[in-house]
Amino acid sequence: MSMSSGRFAVAAHALAFLASRQEASSDVIAASVCTNPVIVRRVMRALVGAGLVSAHEGRGGGYRLARSPDRISLRDVYEAVEPFGPLTPSAGRPSVRCAIGAGMREAFADVAARARRGLGEALAEVTISSFMDRAVSLGRTHAPRGRANATA
């Protein structure tokens, strides 16, 4: 199942990155994620709103985790940046005169609810701390020699 946008991947990466340091600016985070700092700032705004990150503005400012990475699950992250969930029915209204169309929205809602539950349960099992540890471990295997570090 694919995510509805890249926000979740950017957010998870950013939080794992922050777990490895005290504070980082959107420019530094963006360098690690390999995306535009504007995208990072939009995602970070949602994470601040969810209470997962705190922002320190001004010269030398940046973002910090608002709580321990052991107390932030990927479910928390997903819910902060993907509020509509992975599956939404089409915007149009199916024909109520059609035997299939009349029940399509409800049938889709049932499947989407089950998918969200399963996704939520799986994401709840993974903390930012364990996610970061896994990324570092895999990074050591896949990074060019001497290049695997958390400094972007």
Domains and CATH numbers, the chain: 7-88+127-142 (1.10.10.10)
In whole angstroms, how far apart are CA 27 and each of 54, 62, 147? 16, 9, 19
If you count DSSP H runs as helices and E runs as strands, how many of each does the chain have, helices first?
6, 2
Q: Greater confidence, 20 or 151? A: 20
* Residue pLDDT, tens place only, 61-86: 899 999 999 999 999 999 999 866 55
The burial class, CB within 10 Å (0-12 / 13-18 / 19+), for 111 is exposed
Please give the model's pTM, rounded to 2 decimal places.
Answer: 0.79
